[in-house]
Amino acid sequence: MPATITSEATLSSVLHASLGGSPPRIVAAKGNYLRTEDGVDILDASGGAAVSCIGHGHPRVIQAIKDQLDAVEYCFSPWFTTTAYERLAKFLTDSTGGVMEKVFVCSSGAEAVEAALKMARQYFMELPEPQPQRTRFIARDRSYHGNTLGSLSVSGHKARRTIYEPMLSQNMTHVSPCFAYRGMKADETDEQYVARLAQELEDEFQRVGSDTVCGFVAETIAGLTLGGVPPVPGYLKAMKAVCDKHGALVILDEVFAGMGRTGTLHAWEQEGVVPHLQTIAKGLGAGYQAVGALLVSKQVVDVLSKGTKAFVHFQTYHGHPLACAAAYEVQQVIKDEGLIENCREMGAYLGELLKERLGSHKHVGDIRGRGLVWGIEIVKDRQTRQPFPVTDKIAPTIHATGLRKEFAISLIPGGGVADGTHGDLIVIAPAYNVTRMDVELIVGRAAKAIEHVLGGQR
Ligand code: PLP
């Protein structure tokens, strides 16, 4: 007697984000659209979580993966190397003009952050005069650097940390992010704001013991949790100056903002600051493979080269040939199709249209972004900037509304933007290859979904 086949729709063994039901089932993905099993084509205005940056089903990347699969599908990276790994690493170091000298390829953003934290610690242990007292990291409030315990420890996003707090490292502390909409005083200039944030970082160094800090961890442009907030001019330079004064490393997390999305391959290129360690992921592999990477500067490599000559950290799947082959081809597509330039041009157009269409909505507090990442911050009251109660679930409702067939758009819902717990955000982060027509469609559909939940303009 054959086993009864239960309807897949009613019995899912997948541990979905919500235990209360299954999200729409995607059966095909092409260009900037995802097709559900009901035949609805959803406009992918979020690229998943800002990942699918060259669209779905790109034939060049698919072919590159197939070729790699035929050649070497896997080998253990601590023992062997592959052309795929070597080629990707060289592309990445060259892309920084050689200031980043080595690359460790892993499978996600959080893994890249974990590797960065361990690398920073190892750097201080292998200096000619080791500094074993350096065990701390200073990161920023309302930040997100991943959901593994180390990366969550540096993350300052309360809602994501709270229940795991007792398991998180107490050596990670947080200062204010550079977030003009909520952090800058009405009568403050950019310079005064930057000076105040630099002083706060200085005070934190003093509070925890300035020679106990391995590094300062920040997103170059705050993506997921703040919604595409570019730093105030001079901010990162000022932060780096404080770190330099205390001999601490600067770790820039470009998992979200890196690899072209903000208009340059590396977001730090626009800030005049070079990090000691850099993490990348989402746009690196564009979703064709699970891939992230840690880029290590010459200063750090030099110390390790004279020390143990080894990175005391490896993983079964690091440097995976399929991931490396896919990521390399994605980067060639981005270059050949002029997509970074398109991020700048279409990003400016997207920002302009969003402001035109939604800028005066009574529940839209702020619209900000750079390149192809834009955040729409939703507030209960524009004057006071007071957020809606969390229980109103505004951003999740807009997200769910967008997925309905009459709106058919995928948007990223964010929460906790005001204080780590309250404050709704919708993030738009489409593929780098969007056209003017795509941008118009995105703004039209996003605005309709937002207005459906929040009401019309006034
Ligand atoms: N760092 C940043 C800035 C991120 O935005 C994310 C994910 O959104 C991560 C790290 C974690 O990446 P992953 O989800 O690939 O582990």
3-state helix, strand, coil in the chain (%, to 5): 40, 20, 40
**Contacts (Cβ under 8 Å, ≥6 apart) of 201:** 138, 175, 216, 239, 242, 243
Q: Among 153, 217, 279, 282, name the best residue to mutate to test ligand 1's pocket (greatest count of ligand atoms within 8 A of Cβ).
A: 282
Q: Among 52, 255, 291, name the best residue to mutate to test ligand 1's pocket (greatest count of ligand atoms within 8 A of Cβ).
A: 255
Whether ligand 1 lies within 6 angstroms of the CB of 378 is answered as no
Q: What is the pLDDT of residue 11?
A: 62
Distance 142 CA to ligand 1 centre (A): 13
> Buried (b) or exposed (e) across 121-132, using 16+ Cβ within 10 A?
bbbbbbeeeebe
Whether ligand 1 lies within 6 angstroms of the CB of 179 is answered as no
Q: What is the pLDDT of residue 9?
A: 54
Q: Give the single-character DSSP code of 7.
A: -
Distance 255 CA to ligand 1 centre (A): 6
Residue 401 and residue 456 in contact, taking contact as beta carbons nearer than 8 Å: no
Q: Show the CA angle centred on residue 318, arms to residues 95 and 254, nearest 5°.
A: 40
Whether ligand 1 lies within 6 angstroms of the CB of 415 is answered as no
| Encoded tokens for 440 | 């118009």
Q: What is the pLDDT of residue 364?
A: 98
- Overall pTM surpassing 0.90 (yes/no): yes
pLDDT, tens only, 15-50: 888 887 789 999 999 999 999 999 999 999 999 999
What angle in degrees, to the nearest 10, is found between the helix axes of 321-336 and 339-358? 70
ipTM: 0.99
Q: In what helix (H) or strand (E) does residue 59 lie, and over which residues does it extend?
A: helix 59-71
CA distances from 286 to 224, 256, 340, 439 (A): 16, 11, 14, 19
Q: What is the pLDDT of residue 44?
A: 97
Q: What is the pLDDT of residue 18?
A: 81
Q: What is the pLDDT of residue 1?
A: 46
Using 50 as the pLDDT threshold, list the residues of the chain that sit under it: 1-7
Comparing CA positions, the residue from 229, 221, 214 lying closest to residue 154 is 214
Give the Cα separation of 32 and 435 in Å (integer). Answer: 11
Distance 305 CA to ligand 1 centre (A): 29
Q: Among 51, 145, 153, name the best residue to mutate to test ligand 1's pocket (greatest count of ligand atoms within 8 A of Cβ).
A: 145
